[in-house]
Amino acid sequence: MNTSTQTTAVWPTTPAHRVEIAPALQRQRAQADPSRPRWHVTPPWGWLNDPNGLSVHPGPDGEPVIHLFYQHNSHAPVHELNEWGHQVSTDLVHWRDLPVALSPGPEGPDAGGCWSGVVVDDLRSDGSRVPTMIYSGQADRPTQTACLAVAEPGDPWLTRWVKEAEANPVIDTARRSVGLDLPVMRDHSVWRENGRWYQVMGSGLPGQGRDGAQGGAALCFSSEDLRTWIYEGPLAVGDGDVSTTGTVWECPDLARLPGPGGEVDVLTVSAWHEEATMRSMWMTGRRTGTRMEVDLVGRCDLGENYFYAPQSLALPDGRRVVIGWMQPNAVEARRLAVGWAGSMSIPRRMSIADDGTVRFAPVAEVRSLRTRRLVEADGEGAGPVRLRGDSLDLVLTGRLERVGDGVVIDLAVSADGSRRTRLSLERAADPADGARGQGAWTGRLRLDRSASAEPGAPWAGRETAELSGPVPLGPRGEVDLRLLLDRSSLEVFVSGQPLSARLGVDPADQGVVVDAGALADARLEAWEMGEAYSAGRLGAAPRACAQP
C-alpha cells in the first residue's frame, strides 16, 4: 500500500534524505512506552503498516510455521521507503521477530520502496515448491509495478530472498501493461486455478463509477509462470462513492468461503480517496473466471481505517483467517519519541453468516493469552461492575429486550472520573422485512473518545471522532459482545461485527465500568492478558502451537 498518486518518485531514495534513528535507541524507546500493545503484533522498533506475505511453510522440523511479513521502516517510526519486516508464529498469537526480509534497491523498479504484496509457492517442473514474493515496486514511474523475489533454498525460516532483476518488473506500469493512464496500480492477491496463475492489483478506473465518477477497481491478470502476465480486465469495479467505496481500491484480497447456500467468493478491498485511507470493505458474490458478480457489500470494521489493508490466509486446518493494520493515532513527534508506530489486529476467523454477511471473530488461540480471571458475574438490574486493567479480554452476553435498551462500558477511566472512553451498544430497531445485509441489523455500536484525554496531553490521540455503525443482534435482541483491550489498542466484536480503534489515553487511567443493567440474563467475564513476545524479543524461539 502506498499513499500517493504522484507521477514521480514519492519517497526519498537515498539514506541522506531520510529520517534515521539508531535501532538501539528506537528499541529502547519502544520497550519503555506504556502505550505499546503487549499482545498485538508490533514492530521491534520503527514503522509498521500493511500485512504482507501471510503464508504457511514448513519450519526446520517440518512442522508448519506462519509467516507474517509487513510494511516496515526500520530506520525510524515514519512512513518512508518501506521494507518488508518479518515475524513468525506457530499459534497465531505468540510471535518471534526475524531480520528484514526485503529492502529497496539503490535503483530499479523498487528504488522508492518495496510495497505491499503476497507470498505464494511457485510450482517448478521438478515438483518442488519455491516460496515467491510478488510485491509492488515504487520508483520514478507513472504507477507502481509488480516485482518478484524468490526464497533462497535451504532456509526454512525464509530470511533470504533474491530479486529476479532480469524479470522485474513482471507487470509494468498501467500504461504499458493495461493500456490506460491510471492514477495508481498497486498491491496484489495471487492464486492458482486450472493450471494457471491469476492475480488482481488495486487501482481506480476513471469514468467507470456511477455518474461517470472514478470507481475503485481490482484489475485481473493471468500467467503461466508468475513472470509473464496478460491483462484480463477488471475483476470488479466500484461505484466511486467517496463516502463508502472510494475512488481507488488498495490491497485487494480474494477468498472463497462456505456459505449457507454453497461456496461464496469474498473480495476485500481498502477504499482510498485523495490521499486518505478510508475503510476496508467486503464484497460477496460469485466469480466466474476473471469476472465477479457482486451481491452484497459491507464494512469489514466499524473502526474505519483502524482495520486497513487486511490480508487473509487459509490454514491447514481449513480456517480462513485475516489480519489487518491498526493505524497509529498520534502525531509524528509522538511516534519519534516512543520509537514505534502501528500494530496489527488480532488474527480473525472469517465466515459467512446465515444472512449472507461476512463475520469476523478472534481466533480461538487468543484465549491462551488469558492469565488471571478478574470477573465472573451473572444477573440483571444490579449496579455497575467495576474493575481495573489495560490488558483485558471481556465477554458480555444477554438480551436487550426492547428498542432503546442498551449497555455501556467505560474504559480508561481516570481516578476522578473526568476522563473515560465510552463504548455503548443499543438495540436500535426491530427486525425489518425485506432488508438485506448490514442494513438489516438491529443493533448500534458506538465508541466515544471525546473525553479520553486532556487536550494537549502527550498521549492524547490525534483522532477522537466517534466511531459507530450497525451490528447484528439475535431475533430476541441477543447480545454476544467481546472486548479486547491491549493498552492503546481496542477491538470489539458484536456477533462477528468488529469495531477497532486506537486509543489516546493516560497509561495511569485503568478504570473499567460495565453497566449492563438493561441486559436480561446478563453474564460478564473478564481476564487479564499475558504477553505475545518472549523477553528480549529478537532471538526468542516460537511457542508451541495451540489447538484450534
User: pLDDT at residue 5 above 50?
Assistant: no
Instruction: Please write down the HEC assignment for all residues of 40-57.
Output: CCCCCCEEEEEEEEEEEE
| Residue range 43-84, pLDDT digits in tens | 999 999 999 999 999 999 999 999 999 999 999 999 998 999
Q: Dihedrals φ, ψ of 302, to 5°? A: -75, -5
At which residue does the C-alpha cell 469476523 appear? Answer: 360
Q: What does the alpha-carbon distance between residue 378 and residue 216 come to, in Å, rounded to a whole number? A: 48
Residue scoring higher pLDDT (13 or 219)? 219
User: pLDDT at residue 18 above 60?
Assistant: yes
Please choose, from the candidates 428, 397, 402, the residue with its C-alpha nearest in 3D space to the C-alpha of residue 521: 397
| Residue range 102-144, pLDDT digits in tens | 999 999 999 999 999 999 999 888 888 999 999 999 999 999 9
Mean pLDDT of the chain: 92
Which residues pair with residue 298 across a beta bridge?
A: 282
Beta-strand relationship, 96-102 and 114-123: unpaired
What is residue 345's three-state secondary structure?
Answer: coil
| Residue range 387-417, pLDDT digits in tens | 999 999 999 999 999 999 999 999 999 999 9
What is residue 336's three-state secondary structure?
Answer: helix
Of 278-287, 361-370, 373-382, 415-424, where does mean pLDDT reach its minimum?
Answer: 373-382
User: pLDDT at residue 537 above 70?
Assistant: no
pLDDT at 540: 36
pLDDT at 432: 82
Please choose, from the candidates 372, 375, 322, 369, the residue with its C-alpha nearest in 3D space to the C-alpha of residue 484: 369
* Single-letter amino acid code for the residue at 43: P
pLDDT at 339: 97
Q: Dihedrals φ, ψ of 356, to 5°? A: 85, 0
Contact 350, 321 (CB under 8 A): yes
What does the pLDDT average to over 494-504?
98
Beta-strand relationship, 46-58 and 308-314: unpaired
- Output the nine-digit C-alpha cell for 341: 508506530
pLDDT at 545: 30
Beta strands in 300-419 (DSSP E): 308-314, 320-326, 340-341, 343-344, 348-352, 358-362, 370-378, 385-388, 391-399, 406-413
How far is the first Cα of the chain from the last one, in angstroms, to the nearest whole number? 31
Contact 72, 56 (CB under 8 A): no
Label residues 159-178 b or e (16+ Cβ within 10 Å = b).
eebebeeeebbbbbbbeebb
